Structure formats: structure tokens, C-alpha cells
Chain A
Amino acid sequence: MLKLPIYLDYSATTPVDPRVAEKMIPYLVEKFGNPASRSHSFGWEAEAAVEEAREEVAKLVHADPKEIVWTSGATESNNLALKGAAQFYSGKGRHLVTVKTEHKAVLDTCRELERQGFAVTYLDVQENGLLDLEAFSAALRPDTILASVMFVNNEIGVIQPIAEMGEICRSRGILLHVDAAQATGKVAIDLETLKVDLMSFCAHKTYGPKGVGALYVRRKPRVRLTAQMHGGGHERGFRSGTLPTHQIVGMGEAFRLARLEMGTENERIRMLRDRLLRGLADIEEVYVNGDMEHRVPHNLNISFAYVEGESLLMAIKDLAVSSGSACTSASLEPSYVLRALGRNDELAHSSIRFTLGRFTTEEEVDYAIRLLHDKISRLRELSPLWEMVQDGVDLSTVQWAAH
């Protein structure tokens, strides 16, 4: 029996893997010590668990555990990376470069930095969602201190050329920050070879709990930051506040499982995603958003032309999907990511993000395909625009009368 609604929104958040939850629970009850308590076994036990988890997070991305700073999530990591670096290096320059399709956590932080007197360049992406390296290179200035580019886009799943950008930035003496919230467990990340200086992670997109993330801060060459949260001097002064042991343990276990299983898991998910794409490709007037080659296997973002977005969402209530990124979907603004690809508002509104994951089954994918076929044709039957298109009217030539 299928459980409805079918969850196809793994890029918004994932369930905690049962193996992860099992590891977390003791740290809420019997092993509940404060890792900062230095005078008794409860504290030491918690501290040891925190350090073990730090090693697991470091291992997934080939970093030194000393380069991992715990935070409350990727949003905080992005804030700490951008504001911390901008403030620390403001004597060197006051310009930053980022991309129009970044997550709000980066874009809103950049807006705040602009109010603090920094200048920010927001780069366009190409039609496939990827950044043009020449445009990127050209945007870097002598006073640029940091570039921030996400590894994997949350809406369209495209993978940016981080390795090449790292080379460019390093040769120019510019720090590179990468938001990897959507990348862990989906693409291999090797910080020994990538010339990335700061990288944001979170647990809850990789089958760990919400409320915990990390910031990678490179030690060689050493990257420095101005702390944003002050207090007891936890995390070597980078980030004060009691460490939530159970959540950190959960992130460590989630990242350990990702390291061990991502190879086989991603192939299984890729097959399901391709099955979904094949199943939907025979619907007329559908458009895939974002490059299909440089893309994580979990993501499919499709625009269904001549269907009204809200009606579509209502019609496919049996699918838990996203029509934009989770953080912006409360408003009815068309997705700024799809707009950046050059999609018009109507197409952006009628696009659906399907993100598959560890617990997605073939049966669920097949159900989704059938449901979409059925609902799209029904919605189009009701659509006067669709009727006009079927009659051969070129809508772009129609003169619409104002009411």
C-alpha cells in the first residue's frame, strides 16, 4: 500500500534515518552531559561523542576535524562565513561576488553586508543554470575578498564548477565560500583537492536532524573569521553556545552513512529519477529546468506549460513536492532561480521540483507519473490557452485586451 502523500521533496528536508535516530536518543537521556562540562564523566562522554561526530563530518569531505565548526544549520554557517570573512578581511577590500541563484541564506546575508558598506556583484547564470567561468573570472576585482557559490542548487540541482572556481580564486588571492547544504551525500567532495576556503553543511538534507550544521574553515592556508556569536568561547571562539550533543551525534552518523552508501544509493536514485523523467517526457509542452548532465541524480525540475501553477499544486496533492524552494514558497512570487534561467513568470509558476531520496520507491515514482498525466490533461482541457495552442494560435502574437 502506498502511503499518501508521497514525499518527493527531499531537498526541502529529509527524514532522519532510523539508524541515525537510534544513535541520537541516548544523548538526550542517559548520556545527556554538557560537552563543555570539564569536571565529570557526563561532560567527557558528551565531548567524546561530539569529537567523534566531527571526525565523521570531516571524513565525508576529506577535511581535518579541526577545520569543522559546529553551527545550528547551513543558514547560520552561511551567515558566519560571509559576515565573518567580510568583517575580518574588510581592511583588504570590500567587494564580494555571488550568484543570482544562490539560496536566500547567502543572498539576504549579502544584502545585509551591502548595508554595512560592502559592494556585492550578483552574477547571472546561463540558461542551463550553470555559471560561466569567464563571467565569473571577469567579475573578480582587485578589492574582491570573497566569492560565494553554491555547490548544488536547491531548486534545479545543477552542480557548479567548483574546482575551476577554486583555482581561479586561489590564483587571485580571493576566498571561495561554497554552500554545500544540497551537495553532501550527492556529489563527492574532496577538500584536499578543491581550493575552497569555507564550506557550509547541514544535517537535515542528508538524513540527519534539523538544528545542526557545520562550517568548514580551512587551516592551510589559514582562513580567519570574525565570530558572530559570542559567549563561552566554544568551537575555538568561532561560535559560542552549548553544543547540542544529540544533534551533532546525528549529523556525524548521517554523514558516516552518506560516505559509506552514497555510491550505490545515488545510482538507485538516478534510475528512479530517470524513470520519472521518461514517464513525464511524453506529456506535451513540458520543459526540464537546468542542465541534466551537471546535476545531482535526485533532482528533476519541470515546467508544465499551459497549466496554472496553483491549480496544478492543488490537483497533485497526493504528491508532497515543491513549486519553488521551501524557504520562499510561502509567497506567490515566481521562483527567482527559474527567472534567472530566463523562464517567464507563467512557466516559473507552473514548475514542479521533484526531489527523490533514500526512501523513494519505484511504485511511488510510477504513481506520480500516472497522477501527473491524468491531472495535466484534465487541467489543460479546462484551459482556454491550451485550446488556442491546439488550434494553432501563436500566443506570443495575441493582443490581449485589458479588463
Chain B
Amino acid sequence: MNRVVVTGLGVCAAPGKSAAEFAASIKSGRSAIGPITIIPSEGLITKIGAQVLDFDPAAHFAENKLALYDRCTQFALVAAREAIAQSGLQFRDGLGARTAAIIGSGVGGQSTLDDNYLRVYGQGAKRLHPFTIPKLMINAPCSHITMEHGITGPSFVVASACSSANHAIGVAFQMVRAGMAEAAVTGGTEAVFTFGTIKGWEALRVMAPDTCRPFSAGRKGMVLGEGAAVLVLETRERALARGAAILAEIIGFGATSDAGDIVLPAAEGAAGAMSACLKDAGIAPDSVDYINAHGTGTTANDVTETKAIHMVFGERAKSLAISSTKSLHGHTLGAAGAIEAAATIIAMRGGFIPPTANFLAPDPQCDLDYVPNEARSRQIGVALSNSFAFGGHNASIAIRRGE
């Protein structure tokens, strides 16, 4: 069994279109949630989101390539480029065949889907563009990463709604740990700001009209976000041998299913994923310093997650620092696990804990330390990052600070 380390990190999300920009933003506790401007918001009840503003596709991609890239693919490619450049790995020198590419996404090419439904059903178009299917297929972001970087090992997209990226990272981690791959490019991407998609989300009645306030009294629900984050994983042995900078170590992955309600979370399922993760990492609850919570800002999740943390950590729960960075970057659905792993790794390297922003006051049902509003100076040794999805898919990743 190999130890698995992170040697590259790339981010393209609302708080920043690079890991450095993202890092500065989350450390400042500045929420990137704002009025929806990238699509017309007339007719929408929900008028806020965490958007990747001023993203210029032409600055990153040639026109002929762009014709094939949905926005979610564009984000994934930008993040992958940054991560792979940082790692210094060249996949075309033979490593490619021993590298996996496992990416999470909840719905993939949503804008392409939306645009083309409009054309066919709304405008009665006689024909669609030939790239319609290759552009909207949910695996496209992963396909293009393998193509751009010459990765010829196993590759696929993992879809499990809000847990997609955690599951993707978990699977990639297991592949490298087991020796099925020597390296992996993993993470998640999501770009759901289309009129139709937001209408769909509004109908669930869980969207906050004001902002995302995880764990806070007065919270009114979730706020959507978009973006991507990519991690390069490799065996610790390989990284050390080539003198690569080790950003962090992935030490465990746990996953469970609620087998309950299609939208409401269950504390047992969430607790089970965290416990399984700790067991997989071979560590006790007392070893954990920080939890990057799923923390969507809904009444349901935040109370259930708090209960689950109590169940797993017992007395230790009170001394844990817990925060939901969804307050800063929004709920990025299939990208959440990756963007949150990135936030956690950045925080570990920077010696701080990112805050739960927009926090008004404690909710008696959420009685733990959620690091409200201001980042806290603290060395994190071991962190858990949680994702608990609609459909009851729970996944937790354990990350240790790189030496």
C-alpha cells in the first residue's frame, strides 16, 4: 500500500481563478456570493450566487477548441493546468499510462443542455450543432483533461450530486494507494448557472434569498456556486524520489449511503462516513483538528451534520474547529469536495482555519465551534472534509499536512 501525497493544486472558483487568488480570498473571510450577473435574473426568485466573474474563455482556449468545451469543462481545464504545472509532472514521458484521471461532476454540461433544449423545443430548430453531445456529456471535462495532458491510464467522471468530487478524490486516492496508478489527476467541476437550472433549484424551496450562513441562527438555505478544483496525487515514494514539494497527504476515505430520504440527510449515514474515513486512515477521532463541513446553510444539513459530528467525536467534538467554506465559495455541487479539499490544503499550508462567513449568531441546535466570520491562526495537522449529498451519498476525506 502506497502513501498518497498531493503535489499539485489548481482552483478556478468564485473567490479566485487561481489557487493564490482563492487562498487570499478565503483567508480574508470575504464571501464571493453576490448578485447573479452572468445570466439575466429576471423571472428568477433567487438572485444571488457565487459566480466565477470575468472569466474570459478566449484567454485560455483557442476558438476551435472552445467549440467543444462547456463552461464546466473550461473550469476543469484551467484548474488542471494549474495543478499539473505546479506538480511539474510530464505525463507524455511514459507516466501517462500509469496515471488516472478521475473527476467529479453533478450534472456536467448544463449550459450546453439548456441552450440546445431551447433551440429544439423553444425555437423549433431543424438541426443542432454536431458537437452538442460531446459537449454536454458529463464525462467531457475528464476526457479533455486526459487529451490535453496525455493521460492514458483509467479515466472517468464520478457523479453523486454534492459528493461527486469527494468520491472522485477517494477513488483516485484508492487507485494510487493500491498501485493501480502511480499518479492521478482528480477533483471536480460544476457550472450550473442557467435559467432553467436555477428554476429547478428554486422549486426545492431550500435556496437562501440573502446569503449562505452555515450553522448560524437565521440561516435560510443554500446558495449555488460554480467552479473547479483539481489535485495531482502521486505516491509519496515517487514524489520524494524526484524532490517534488509535497503539499499534503491524503490519508483516508470513507463513504456510506443513508438509504433513507431522497433529499433529507441522516445523521447515522453522515457519522458512518466520517467513522469509516477515520478507520481507513488508521487514526482516532482525537487526532483530527479541523473539519471542513458540508455545511450548506440549510436547516436540515447543519443540524444533522452537527449531530453526526457529536456521534463520531464525543467529547472531542467541542475542541474541534469546524467551518463551512460554502459561505465563501457557494455550494458548488459536484465540485464541492474538490474546492473544499483545496481550501483545506491551502489552510493547512497557510497556518490558518478559513472561517464560516456570514455568521450572525449561534443556533442552539448547532452548538460547536464553527470559526465564525474571521479566519483563525492555527496549525492544522489532520483535517476531515465532508460531503453529504441528495440521495444520501456521504463521503469524507482525511487530509494530513505535508511535512
Is this pair of chains taken from one and the same complex?
no
